[in-house]
Amino acid sequence: MKKLTLLLFLFVLLACSQKNKDQKALLTERQSTAKIVVKHQVKTIAMETVLEESFLDSTQIGVKGKSKIIVNQYRSDDSTCVEITLFEKRKTKWFVQQQLHYLKDGITNCEPEIKDFNNDGLNDLTFKSSVAARGANEIRKLLIFDKASKKSILIKNSDQYPNLQYNKTLNCVDAWLVYGGSSTVFLKIEKDSLRKFASVTLEDSAIEITVIDKKGNAKIIKKELVEDLEVYTRYDNYAPLTESNSSN
């Protein structure tokens, strides 16, 4: 009886020992797999990034002489990104005030431009963010310089409206959309968005003028056929209707 008990004890001991070995082997295998996954993740994060374009301005942006901006376009294996760094000058040194990152298409260059879009005397920034179906439509993101915070505010829907410019006649922003015809769209900057309040559409030998209230309700105030209509015309006013000029 004692021998039988001893044999059973030895059998259990061997079984436990083998189970521990199997568990250790499985743990080692999982750890090795985890290391491979981690290495793969590190490799993915460490993809080569190339600086394609760089732009610097320290004389025109924001508060002149007190603001500086650097716009860099980077390309990695699977994406293109724009990095915008805004600086403020305190005494004689520049300090980072804001840093922004945006994905963009991999076709166009940034080609940043410094202009005042809200008539506050402080210049703002636009840069190309994507390419439109037609080459005549230039798509840009607009960032308005805010004097109070000394930071740039992205106008979220600015890249929905091609060929943006400041409209001196109506003290607003207008856009020009080119397709089989064309549309001049008149917009107000409200907080971080553009709100459409009027448009002039030229298409199929017809001109149509529409006004839109703050709730988004549209009303056609004029529609007429025009013989030999030049459909690719931009306007700086809709009532009365006046064509845009280069001084706008």
DSSP E strands: which ranges in 16-171? 50-57, 67-75, 80-90, 93-104, 113-115, 124-131, 138-146, 151-155, 165-167
Is 21 part of a structural domain of the chain?
Answer: no
CA distance 12 to 245: 96
Could you say which of 121, 139, 160 is where a domain stops? 160
CA distance 183 to 232: 8
pLDDT band at 217 (very low <50, low <70, confident <90, very high): very high
Q: 156 and 56, same structural domain?
A: yes
Is 121 part of a structural domain of the chain?
Answer: yes
Is 11 part of a structural domain of the chain?
Answer: no
Output phi, psi for 239, to 5 deg.
-150, 95
**Tokens representing residue 52 in the block:** 């394609």
- How much is the average pLDDT of 104-111? 93
26-30, 31-35, 92-96, 120-124: range with lowest mean pLDDT: 31-35
Q: Say how many domains are in the chain.
A: 2
Mean pLDDT of the chain: 85
Q: Can you give the pTM of this predicted structure?
A: 0.79
Q: Is the pLDDT reported for residue 127 higher than 90? A: yes
Q: Is the pLDDT reported for residue 40 higher than 60? A: no
pLDDT band at 131 (very low <50, low <70, confident <90, very high): confident
CA distance 123 to 116: 4
- How much is the average pLDDT of 25-38? 39
Q: Is the pLDDT reported for residue 11 higher than 90? A: no
Q: 238 and 169, same structural domain?
A: yes
Q: What is the pLDDT of residue 247?
A: 54
Q: Is the pLDDT reported for residue 20 higher than 60? A: no
Q: 169 and 145, same structural domain?
A: no
Task: Read off the pLDDT of residues 163-209 as tens digits, 9 standing for 90 and up.
Answer: 999 999 999 999 999 999 999 999 999 999 999 999 999 999 999 99
Q: How many other C-beta atoms can be found within 10 angstroms of the C-beta atom of residue 64?
A: 12
Could you say which of 160, 178, 197 is where a domain stops? 160
